[in-house]
Structure 1
Amino acid sequence: MYTEVRPAGRNIAASDLAGIGPSVTNALSSHLTAEVRHEGARWVQEYRCGVPVAPPTAMGPASGSGTTLTFWPDSGIFETVECSFTVLAERFRELAFLNRGLSISLTDARRPGELGSDHFLGEIRDFVVSLDASVGSPIHLDTIAFAWEDSRMAGTAEVALRWCTSPEEQVRSFANSQPTPYGGTHVVGFRKGVADAINAYARKRRLLKAAVPISPRTGSARD
């Protein structure tokens, strides 16, 4: 599944389920149908095992605009072709948090009488609040959140954090809506910024103890 969204006043955010684009999804599908609604017309094209069955076909008028891809994973490639509602729900929840103003609805209609559905809408501040259960109770109820744009990266960076009672930190980082579990320069910069801000505040409030002078001769603290 591949979606392309453009929230008002923000840069385009392309997202998918596993960090791949629609061409890869098509190649891994036994059957894929692409429907494009643009400028009042609806166009449809079908593919079998990544190969188009026919050229794009005009299927009449359409209201609004957007793209819908419907696909069936190829059982000749994957051991299992049944999608997990839980995994999809978690990923869509992340995307809704990371792209403010983006609303995502997920419905599981595979089993009649056991219809599962969920709706996701929020922002990065809500993402941090949702993690509280696993990191201990919050020390302060407020969540610090801010965003800034920089022409050098042609995009927006957002940060949210909350102080909790857990002795261990939990950092969830993303770049272009994709998880970066191994960190990166954006995580290094965040850590340095937080440390500098806390040190500056502590010095201004005289909360830091004076540094103990070190003897240049012995390398130990002077009496």
Structure 2
Amino acid sequence: MAVILGIDIGGSGIKGAPVDTATGKLTAERHRIATPEGARPDDVKGVVAELVRHFGHKGAVGVTFPGIVQHGVTLSAANVDKGWIGLDADKLFTDATGQNVTLINDADAAGLAEAKFGAGAGVAGTVLVLTFGTGIGSALIYDGVLVPNTELGHLWLRDKHAETWASDRARERDDLNWKQWAARASKYLQHLELLFSPDLFIIGGGISKKAEKWQSALVLERSKLVPAALLNDAGIVGAAMIAEHRTGSKQKK
């Protein structure tokens, strides 16, 4: 079977696991290391290299990044160190690990994984995957094809910046209960519904583990909404998928 190492860089932790890209299943228990304070490039590359060593992995590696990624270059840094802006992060991680690394936006990775192996599997038309955590990530999928780097968490709703108002971090910061948070998230989702008319919303990120607390309180006009099925493994799985796709790697276990 094809096994690719996927690594997911998050605001509080960097986690990885080898993935069977034919099934979307992890082939070993995921390993997590705390994200270095400030998430500076040199510090993060050290953690990525440590994860590669932990699994003794040789071959293609997929890595997610919480910002815009074009051709391996990171172009934004909303929730990490500004040193990432304009950085060839593919090369940074490839040099640090000695393996062929492919970088992808974290929400895009989660979207690919959910569309193929999770809650979006077999769904035709437009699927919009949103990850609520430190910010709000987005992945727009049409008939299984990703439109990359949508960054819909940075939309403005009148005077409200979406991710600083409706993210999970905003819920914690403003001490909102789940019903109060859902009222904010509903306004955001209704705006996206107006813009994109998705057939399905998939809600991921850390809150996906607590769907029973918020799902019934979210209000949409016409789109269907479900929680993510892969939970916190989606980024890891999607990172492995894009690494295999872009390198044509067929690593065998």
Q: Do the two structures share a fold, i.e. TM-score over 0.5?
A: no
Q: TM-score range by the shorter chain?
A: 0.3 to 0.5
TM-score, normalised relative to structure 2: 0.31
In terms of Rg, which structure is larger? 1
Per residue, is there more helix in 1 or in 2? 2
TM-score, normalised relative to structure 1: 0.34
Per residue, is there more strand in 1 or in 2? 1
